[in-house]
Chain A
Amino acid sequence: MISKEEVQHIAKLARLGITKKEEEKFARELSKILDYIEKLKEVDISNIEPTSHSIEMENVMRSDIEKSKIKNQKSKILLDLAPETKNGYLKTKPIL
């Protein structure tokens, strides 16, 4: 069973604000789901390699060239989506 303190810790790691009421709800629900996934402990995984992707992958590289024309048009579109900007930068609240 996950404790409420663990729920608070996880929510903080996830940068997710949760209400007091949700602490109990998450403790209950996550415990139930974790009980279900405990089933994987039955499987013998010794000497088995992990799979991160189901097909073989290779790195894709591109040349490191600035695309100035695209940069100007696209960066404005992207910046316009931000809630607050200043001089072409994203603006945030202070960290401290």
Chain B
Amino acid sequence: MELTNLTITQIHRALINKEFSVLELCQTFLDKIKSEDKKINAFLTVIKDLALSQAKKVDEMILEGREIPILAGIPMVAKDNILVENIRCTAGSKILGNYIAPYDATCIKKLKAAGAIILGKTNLDEFAMGSSTENSAFFPTKNPHDTERVPGGSSGGSAAAVAANLSVFALGSDTGGSIRQPASFCGIVGLKPTYGAVSRYGLIAFASSLDQIGPLTKTVEDAKIVFEAISGKDPLDSTSVESKISNFKFQISNLRIGVPKEYFVKGIDPEVENIIKNAIKKYEEIGAKIEEISLPHTEYALPCYYIIAPSEASANLARYDGIKYGMSKVKSQKSKVKSLLDVYLKSREEGFGAEVRRRIMLGTYVLSAGYYEAYYLRAQKVRTLIRKDFEEAFKKVDAIFTPVTPTPAFKIGEKIDDPLKMYLSDIFTAPINLAGLPAISIPVGKVAPHQNGGGGLPVGLQIIGKHFEEEKIFEVAKIYGNISNAK
């Protein structure tokens, strides 16, 4: 049995049957990280001693014959913008290069209480701004399916770690596609929950009206387990909401699936289009009703996103001032750093990388006097129209199916010098954040092998549901696995 291939449910069963210990399991993962992470660079921090001591505690519980929660003893990793107490948390930025988290994020607190074992913190685009993990201030992460290609981003380290079997599951964050796009590029499952379903307390903020924490896993079943463990109202996040978890059962013949015509237009890779259409056909063959729908404001979603997200980011990132924590020039003896303003300017100049600076500048520009109405307020009104497109569509259908991205994983370096080209990677995922809806990416095929006789590049199907209908998305997504397994 290859321990690192197992899913949460498989490990849970094996632990109860005492087929192996948690210590053995964690040691196997840590050894594998040590020998194999250098190929993909998914990790920024590996947490060894604490992981092993936590593992021993779960083993003791099992030996005492106590009932263990489903996540007890399960090795996991977290994107390095989610705080784990006493562990460095960089957000992929030099400005937080030596920052030690003073407390646990709420989702981490919940997972620790459930007995999950944190093996490390994973690489990301600086402050989660990017679609390739190339914007990390430390190093780029590589796609385990083809190491010349990006794993996607910004949760690229999390996706690569799970795809390379260096972790059973991972936490990521998704502001415009940062869980779903890397999940799609790496051939795993990734869920962006409904806005408010998971507490954002302890998540380093990027764009607060769009950010959500969610799981990256090997199966839909695992995504459901992790989501249920981390969701719920939190007094420490005023935007969090108690979601009604209901066991959603339905007959496939009653399932109405909407396919928006605006998501199958120029720019989409023909192979990706084929794979997505075949996946949709499989649902049709077993009795689901497929309907073409229209989301007329789709083409405005990305420009809308690139006003709202940088605006919120420019405000959120004002906190990195070189005074409270993080990189600082306050002690600089140089004649150029005399006043408080100099400390701000110099700390932020040295601390922030190119993409973060670009977005701070863009956000500051569109919010500045004289431009607020033309850009920000207009974008918020367009956001209303995008939200209403989905509301209208969900009057007719139960779920919406789209590709996650227009192309499979691209080459490292291919888009890094052209910000707009990089932004277009989020064209099918950003609208969902603007509307606050839950959406999952599941692997549904691979494009033909490109080189080195590799197994091809994964392609993800995006399943979008109504607000707080994660359970329905899981059930609909599971059907695909059942169809594939039956063959």
Contact = CB atoms under 8 A, between A and B. Distances in A.
Interface string A22-61: 1000100110111011111111010011111111010110
B195 A93 contact: no
B176 to A, nearest CB: 13
A33 B305 CA distance: 12
B383 A93 contact: no
B382 interface: yes
B383 A37 contact: no
B100 interface: yes
A94 B209 CA distance: 35
B362 A81 contact: no
- DSSP class of A's interface residues: helix, strand, loop or mixed? loop
Contacts of A55: 194-196, 241, 436, 467
Contacts of B304: 40
B382 A36 contact: no
Interface string B311-351: 00010001001111100101100000111111111101110
Q: How large is the interface on B (under 10, 10 to 19, 20 to 34, 35 or more residues)?
A: 35 or more
Contact of B102 (A11, A45, A74, A94): A74
Which of B299, B321, B362 has the most chain A CB within a 10 Å cutoff? B362
Given A43-B382, A53-B209, A94-B340, A15 B345 contact: yes
B85 to A, nearest CB: 10
B235 A60 contact: yes
Interface residues of A, number: 54
Interface string A53-91: 111010110100000000000100110011110000011
- DSSP class of B's interface residues: helix, strand, loop or mixed? helix
A41 B307 CA distance: 13
A1 interface: no
A26 B358 contact: yes
Interface of B: 99-100, 102, 194-196, 209, 235, 238-239, 241, 297, 299-300, 303-304, 306-307, 314, 318, 321-325, 328, 330-331, 337-346, 348-350, 352, 357-358, 360-362, 364-366, 368, 375, 377-385, 387, 419-420, 423, 434-437, 467
Given A39-B303, A49-B381, A51-B384, A17 B348 contact: yes
A59 B238 contact: yes
Contact of A57 (B239, B299, B303, B343): B239
22 contacts: A10-B364, A18-B357, A19-B349, A26-B357, A29-B358, A30-B362, A33-B362, A37-B366, A43-B378, A50-B380, A50-B383, A51-B380, A51-B387, A51-B434, A52-B380, A54-B387, A54-B434, A55-B196, A55-B241, A81-B325, A92-B330, A92-B343
Contacts of B299: 39
A10 to B, nearest CB: 5
Contact of B361 (A14, A41, A48, A62): A14
A83 B194 contact: no
